[in-house]
Amino acid sequence: MSSKKILWVDDEIEFLRPHILFLTERGYEVETATNADDALALIREKNFNLVLLDEMMPGKDGLTTLNEIKDLRPGLPVIMITKNEEESLMEEAIGAKIDDYLTKPVNPSQILMACKKFLESRDISQQKITRSYSQELNQIALRLMEPLDWEDWIDIYLKLTGWDVELDGVNEPHLRDIIYDQRRECNVEFGKFIEKNYHNWIYEKDERPELSVDVVKNYVFPHLKEGKRVVFVVIDCLRMDQWLTLEPFFYDYFNITKNYYYSILPTATPFSRNAIFSGLYPIDIEKRYPELWAQGEDDDYSRNRYESRLMYDQVRLLGYRAKTEPQYVKILNQEEARNLEKNLSSYLNSPLFSIVVNFVDILAHSRSDLPILKEIAPDEPSYRSLTRSWFEHSAIYAVFKKLAEEDVTVVVTSDHGSIRSLRGAKVIGDRETSTNLRYKFGRNLKVDSKHAVYIKNPKDYKLPQRNFNTNYIIAKEDFYFVYPTNYHKYLAYYRDSFQHGGISLEEMILPVVTLEPK
């Protein structure tokens, strides 16, 4: 351990020599001062890592000294040591930005523990994390050699995502690289698993995970049936790791219950979100609502403008009998979010209120087009951080805080995630082929089978047929589709962009979170 410098300020410092010797034997370098003025002079001259400060001293007392220390060195941790256990003193000390306090008499072990908390906690945490993650990653590598079911994949993805988020507060880039490589290896096997099992899932009702078509039926309607008011929030394109980053904002306001489901394929808004709101697979949506696909085939907005109607029809078929129709609002910008915040009470007159929030999806798309966003969020940790910063300062967060004051149940989910696309896959198609980078539909599509799932007959996967001889290709792992024309130009342009529509853990496994106000 590199030597850490501690300044101990106490007018009776001679009585503390055994404590100082105890710390010195454990590698700390301790200097002392018997009054505030000497202590402040030392702090001006030298760099200390921690100050132990007596509360009662002749001349300047501990609280006065504390304020002057914080003026000199705002980031220097100060532990106050006091005989006074009065609550008012503790509150005053906390208000003065004290970092911790101990009550006299203190023993050497208490002092050591307090010092470790501020001087070694990061190193201890990193060592523990490194040992723990190394063992867990080895276990995952062994699990990949065995047959896995859909529950196993949720468990693996939650572990990988949880570790990745936890590393945001730890300086361990090497370990993050190992986890990223492990996740890429998992996505290789996950792609094989989906290719083998997905077709059966969409024709079964029991031996399969919950899919997009089950979300409202299983997580929204049961609360309506019990007579509760429900607010259903879909944050478009929110990944599991982004939810984990946002989750702490809800701790003070809600009791949280988490479940998980798989997005249908393609993991793109026109398919997956319409499936959530309708409870139907895309082919059935096309049959029942042909106008959804009649125009703007590459326009996500056009294909998702009927969500209010789809939701109403779904809950009526499930048995919704309220006199008031469900309410619905889509939030595309901050102004619309502020309007929702102002008028929230009017929307809650209905037993069911659905909110679609598009910011994260807009962020993902904008990152591809705006170089400055790619500089601000060059990787997944910074992408999470940007999502967190948006939410913390958004009117949407204010809406959630208002909902916590209401007698409502809030269900939050995402329609699909996204993956950081790093490898190009060459695809051949005609001019009528769709433009999406992680999935395409068209005629006579050709792509390497290692990079994508080829769907010859869309009806087999409950996808819209559209035209005669229409095929689909859906990218696996972190591949994105590039045409041979100007191949290198577009390969470079879209590399390292967040895309969705394909088969990956990040796009398919999603949270469904039920929030009950405290």
Instruction: Tell me if the bond preceding 108 is cis, omega within 30° of 0.
Output: no
Any domain includes 206: no
Task: Return averaged pLDDT per consecutive 10 residues of the chain, 518 residues in all.
Answer: 81 90 90 93 93 89 88 89 65 66 84 84 62 78 92 96 83 76 94 96 91 98 95 97 97 97 96 96 91 56 76 94 89 94 94 96 86 87 94 96 97 97 94 90 92 95 84 96 93 93 98 97
In a domain, 88, yes or no: yes
476 near 451, Cβ under 8 Å?
yes
* Domain shared by 408 and 328, yes or no: yes
H-state helical runs in 144-232? 150-166, 173-201, 215, 221-225
Q: Which residues pair with 50 in a beta bridge?
A: 6
CA–centroid distance for 64 within its chain: 42
Q: What was the pLDDT predicted at 96?
A: 57
Instruction: Please report, for residues 5, 113, 127, 172, 211, the alpha-carbon distance to residue 122 in angstroms, rounded to integers and kept in the order given.
Output: 16, 14, 9, 11, 40
| Same domain, residue pair 62 and 130 | no
Does 407 lie in the same domain as 359?
A: yes
The answer to the question of residue 294 being in a domain is: yes
CATH number of the domain enclosing 44: 3.40.50.2300
Same domain (yes/no): 229, 364? yes
Token reading at 64? 């006065």
Name the strands in the sheet holding 100-103, side by side, starting at the edge strand that comes first in the sequence.
Answer: 28-33, 4-9, 50-54, 78-82, 100-103
Q: Is residue 500 domain-resident?
A: no
Q: Which of 201, 222, 242 is the last residue in one of the domains?
A: 201
The last residue of one of the domains, among 119, 150, 167, is 119
pLDDT of residue 94: 57
CA distance 375 to 2: 35
Looking at the structure, tell me whether residues 229 and 103 fall in a common domain: no
- Report the C-alpha gap between 266 and 507 in whole angstroms: 10
The neighbouring-strand residues paired with 443 are 470
The confidence score (pLDDT) of residue 141 equals 87
The torsion angles phi and psi of 200, rounded to 5 degrees, stand at -70, -35
Q: 230 with 373, same domain?
A: yes
Residue 471: the pLDDT is 92
What is the predicted pLDDT for the residue at 92?
58
Parallel, antiparallel or unpaired: strands 100-103 and 78-82: parallel
Residue 502 lies in a domain: no
The answer as to whether 465 is a domain residue is: yes
Cis before 105 (ω within 30): yes
Query: Are 47 and 148 within one domain?
Result: no
**40 found inside a domain:** yes
Query: Based on the domain organization, do 94 and 189 belong to the same domain?
Result: no
| Entry pTM | 0.82
Query: Does residue 268 sit in the same domain as residue 235?
Result: yes
Q: Is residue 501 part of a domain?
A: no
Q: What share of the chain is helix, strand, coil (3-state, %, to 5)?
A: 50, 20, 30
Residue pair 4/27 in contact (Cβ under 8 Å)? The answer is yes
Domain boundary among 181, 201, 221: 201
pLDDT at 297: 46
SS3 of residue 427 by DSSP: strand
Helix, coil or strand: residue 345: helix
Tell me, what CATH number does 411's domain have?
3.40.720.10
Q: Which two tokens mark 133?
A: 């993650």
Q: Do the strands 479-482 and 408-413 form a parallel or antiparallel pair, or are they unpaired? A: unpaired
Residue that has been written with the tokens 């062994």 in this structure: 142
Same domain for 346 and 410, yes or no, is: yes
Phi, psi of 211, rounded to the nearest 5 degrees: -115, 180
The verdict on 316 and 464 lying in the same domain is no
Same domain, 90 and 219: no
Structurally, the chain folds into a number of domains equal to 4
Q: How far apart are CA 182 and CA 38, in angstroms?
A: 54
Range of the domain at 147: 123-201
What is the C-alpha to C-alpha distance for residues 154 and 140, in angstroms, rounded to an integer?
12
